């Protein structure tokens, strides 16, 4: 066999460390005709986010952005037309900057981050912008979708797999120790933690204000999240209806709502961040995506986290902070039970989660990451953090991050 050519040796790659520079988001709104963004375009939401990232970091020349990856679950209308590329152009990036759209349902923005981060590590990019947008008021989940009849006719999935609230009820069936009372208590705590963080000024750094319009109310400025319900109690939640099953356990109070919003972040090779003077808020350690039974999609973060831990050689004991997407309380509680973590562990969603702030589907992954980055800045005693979420049609996604500010102290 002939020896490898010298030219082939030059193709060898040394993987580079990838850092999360910064993340921002619009305030999240309630989907529907009276919501914050009822008459605001979805692409305008993500354009505002990209512009704010560039405004906050003038040390980043726009021409140094190598890729823009934007996720949307319902890629139609003003969320369609390869939104990563169109949003880049609308945001004023040079026309030499490419972009693309991505879809992994709720984990769209998370997948945008891991996809471009892999490209950065490989050397295909130096700097990229990743994010997500979902306008569930204009584009309800499933709009224009035509599921193949084979899914049901050939019993590939149960009919409940196509309705996320029903999958959450199925998860309650599987984990009998997760009662409605327990889910309601977790939901009330999420609202209280978010309200406390808001009052302490913790949320403001994440937000970028955005102009809104209404044919009846005129122009306005969105500066705060619309979904939170401060003062929510377990007693209040106990009275809510269970729309997915008679005498069920999933309600509008212990699940995330239907929301509109956009998120975005800057990612870079660590050496390039140093060259440009960009901050390093987090360092990517590893990630994992898995498939699970679609009927219990909420269990997805359990095996995806196990995979991410296995890939990185870490254990759950190494994780000092958790940002878990609260699509449903039962889904987070199933994760906590599996790993032996208490419902009220202070490491978990310290500023509340999606039950309070909302879950505009494809955008939520970067919200988790942005909040984890803020926690890291305040917690030099914590080395590793996890962002994880369940994903529709039976998947889970988990990303592990390292704190560059870690000082070696014990958490």
- In a domain, residue 124? The reply is yes
Active-site hit among 139, 172, 359, 375 = 359
**Residue the block writes with tokens 């702030």:** 357
Which CATH number is 312's domain given? 3.40.47.10
Dihedral (CA of 33, 39, 45, 48) sign = negative
Q: Give the residue-averaged pLDDT of 144-173.
A: 93
By CB neighbour count within 10 A (0-12 exposed, 13-18 middle, 19+ buried), where does 251 fall?
buried
- In a domain, residue 107? The reply is yes
**Pairing mode of beta strands 67-71, 319-324:** unpaired
Q: Give the residue-averaged pLDDT of 179-195.
A: 98
- 3-state helix/strand/coil string of the chain: CCCCCHHHHCCCCCCCCEEEEEEEECCCEECCCCCCCCCCCHHHHHHHHHHHHHHHCCCCCHHHCCEEEEECCCCCHHHCCCHHHHHHHHCCCCCCCCEEEECECECHHHHHHHHHHHHHHHCCCCEEEEEEEEECCCCCCCCCCCCCCHHHHCCCCCHHHHCHHHHHHHHHHHCCCCCHHHHHHHHHHHHHHHHHHHHCCCCHHHECCEEEEECCCEEEEECCCCCCCCCCCHHHHHCCCCCCCCCCCCCCCCECCCEEEEEEEEEEEHHHHHHHCCCCCEEEEEEEEEECCHHHHHHCHHHHHHHHHHHHCCCHHHEEEEEECCCEHHHHHHHHHHCCCCCCCCCECCCCCHHHHCCCHHHHHHHHHHHHHHHHHHCCCCCEEEEEEEECCCEEEEEEEECCCCCCCCC
pLDDT of residue 8: 55
pLDDT of residue 1: 47
- In a domain, residue 213? The reply is no
- In a domain, residue 211? The reply is no
Active-site hit among 106, 139, 172, 375 = 106
- Domain encompassing residue 366: 15-138+255-402
Whether 42 has a pLDDT exceeding 90, the answer reads: yes
- In a domain, residue 330? The reply is yes
Q: Give the residue-averaged pLDDT of 48-57.
A: 98
Q: Is 106 a catalytic residue?
A: yes
Domain count, the chain: 1
**Residue the block writes with tokens 């039976």:** 394
pLDDT of residue 218: 87
- In a domain, residue 101? The reply is yes
| pTM score over 0.75 | yes
Active-site hit among 139, 172, 375, 390 = 390
Query: Torsion over CA of 279, 375, 380 and 129, rounded to 10 degrees?
Result: -20
Among 90, 91, 15, which residue's Cα sits nearest to residue 53? 91
- In a domain, residue 104? The reply is yes
pLDDT bucket at 410, cuts 50 / 70 / 90: low
pLDDT bucket at 11, cuts 50 / 70 / 90: low
Among 386, 358, 361, which residue's Cα sits nearest to residue 372? 386
Q: Give the residue-averaged pLDDT of 27-31.
A: 98
- In a domain, residue 95? The reply is yes
Among 326, 334, 399, which residue's Cα sits nearest to residue 106? 326
**Residues 247 and 178 sit within 8 Å (Cβ to Cβ):** no
Strand partners, 288: 398
Contacts of 277 (CB under 8 A, 6+ apart): 59
Q: Is 390 a catalytic residue?
A: yes
Could you tell me the two tokens for 42? 């979805």
Q: Is 359 a catalytic residue?
A: yes
Q: Give the residue-averaged pLDDT of 106-114.
A: 98
Q: Give the residue-averaged pLDDT of 22-50.
A: 97
């Amino acid at each position: 066999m002939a020896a490898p050519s010298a030219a082939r040796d030059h193709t060898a790659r040394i993987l580079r460390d990838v850092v999360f520079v910064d993340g921002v988001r619009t305030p999240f709104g309630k989907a529907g005709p009276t919501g914050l963004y009822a008459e605001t375009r979805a692409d305008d939401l993500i354009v505002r986010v990209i512009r704010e990232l560039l405004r906050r970091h003038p040390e980043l020349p726009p021409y140094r952005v190598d890729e823009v990856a934007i996720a949307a679950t319902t890629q139609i209308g003003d969320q369609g037309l390869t939104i990563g590329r169109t949003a880049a152009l609308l945001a004023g990036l040079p026309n030499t900057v490419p972009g693309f759209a991505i879809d992994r349902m709720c984990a769209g923005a998370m997948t945008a981050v891991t996809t471009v981060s892999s490209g950065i590590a490989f050397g295909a990019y130096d700097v990229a912008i990743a994010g997500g947008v979902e306008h569930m008021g204009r584009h309800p989940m499933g709009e224009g979708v035509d599921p193949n009849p084979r899914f049901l006719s050939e019993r590939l999935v149960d009919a409940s797999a196509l309705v996320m609230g029903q999958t959450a009820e199925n998860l309650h069936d599987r984990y009998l120790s997760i009662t409605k009372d327990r889910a309601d208590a977790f939901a009330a705590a999420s609202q209280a933690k978010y309200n406390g963080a808001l009052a302490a000024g913790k949320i403001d750094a994440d937000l970028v204000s955005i102009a809104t319009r209404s044919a009846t109310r005129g122009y306005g400025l969105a500066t705060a999240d619309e979904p939170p319900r401060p003062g929510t109690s377990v007693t209040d939640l106990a009275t809510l209806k269970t729309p997915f099953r008679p005498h069920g356990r999933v309600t509008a109070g212990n699940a995330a709502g239907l929301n509109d919003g956009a998120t975005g972040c800057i990612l870079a090779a660590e050496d390039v961040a140093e060259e440009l003077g960009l901050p390093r808020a987090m360092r990517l350690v590893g990630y994992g995506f898995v498939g699970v039974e679609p009927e219990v999609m909420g269990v997805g973060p359990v095996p995806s986290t196990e995979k991410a831990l296995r890939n990185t050689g870490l254990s759950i004991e190494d994780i000092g902070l958790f940002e878990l997407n609260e699509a449903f309380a039962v889904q987070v509680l199933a994760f906590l039970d599996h790993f032996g973590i208490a419902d009220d562990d202070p490491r978990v969603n310290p500023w509340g989660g999606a039950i309070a702030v909302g879950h505009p589907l494809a955008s939520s992954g970067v919200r988790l990451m942005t909040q984890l980055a803020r926690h890291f800045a305040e917690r030099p005693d914590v080395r590793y953090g996890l962002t994880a979420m369940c994903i529709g049609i039976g998947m889970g996604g988990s990303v592990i991050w390292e704190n560059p500010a870690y000082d070696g102290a014990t958490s």
